[in-house]
Amino acid sequence: MTVLQERYREVSDRIGKLVLQAGRKPHSVSLIAVSKTFPSDGIREVYAAGQRDFGENYIQEWYGKTEELADLPDIVWHVIGDVQSNKTKFVAERAHWVHTVCRLKTARRLSEQRPSSMPPLQVCIEVNIGGEAVKHGVAPEEAVALAVEVAKLPNIVVRGLMCVAKANSSETELKTQFQTMQKLLADLNAAGVKADVLSMGMSDDMPAAIECGATHVRIGSAIFGKRGRLECVQ
């Protein structure tokens, strides 16, 4: 086993344990391996160990990887970074998921540009749960209304909500944020949008997220190692 494959196994095992500790059903949390800034070879290694879901932030970098990895037909691409208007076409044509929808305009473009030969694009609405100016995402009180509008678009299916917790939060603060997400998901269902995904939890805050109902954790550095360049400021 390579170092990456070992770390991948460790992370998978850890998720399994945290799910049990939280009294949740086995396999109720999916791992998205966040490969941003790491080369395609690393993705191949982790893929060979059994992982299929990969997350990428930077559209241009990701698009190059979709070309390099075109021989892996069952890889599932999750876009987890900001999608600027001029990049929606790439995303609509190659992504399986977009976790970071926070504008109706972007969602409209994604829906219009989604090829009819492909299944609907699965999206999450990104919520700026910590209210930080530097973060993307819609304000918590606007999330349900936006999701309801996005859900009306023909080539998109709203799967749920996504957040990045506020930087340097204490354990208590993390739980407050993740519990608010849980409540927003319930509100969204009450508003008539059947959605079951909570995309939350990263290498450093995964335990709290799993305890608070995360269904998808996005794990980068715990698998691929520390990132040098292009550090994410999302």
Residues 45, 8: Cα–Cα separation, whole Å: 10
CB of 125 to ligand PLP, least distance (A): 14
Q: Return all residues near 57 (Cβ < 8 A) that are at least 6 apart.
A: 34, 36, 79, 80, 81, 82, 232, 234
With CA atoms as reference, report the closest residue to 27 among 220, 216, 162, 223: 216
Q: Does 83 bind ligand PLP (CB under 6 A)?
A: no
Should residue 57 be labelled a site residue for ligand PLP when binding is judged by CB under 6 A? yes
Q: Quick one: three-class SS letters along 6-66?
A: HHHHHHHHHHHHHHHHCCCCCCCCEEEEECCCCCHHHHHHHHHCCCCEEEECCHHHHHHHH
Answer yes or no whether residue 30 interacts with ligand PLP by CB under 6 A.
no
Map the footprint of ligand PLP across residues 123-182, applying CB under 6 A.
164
85 touches ligand PLP by CB under 6 A: no
The answer to whether 207 contacts ligand PLP (rule: CB under 6 A) is no
Which listed residue (8, 34, 168, 181) binds ligand PLP by CB under 6 A? 34
Structure tokens at 102: 């926070």
Q: How many residues bind ligand PLP (CB under 6 A)?
A: 15
Interface pick for ligand PLP out of 80, 123, 161, 197 (rule CB under 6 A): 80
Contact positions toward ligand PLP, by CB under 6 A?
34, 36, 57, 80, 164, 202-204, 218-222, 232, 234
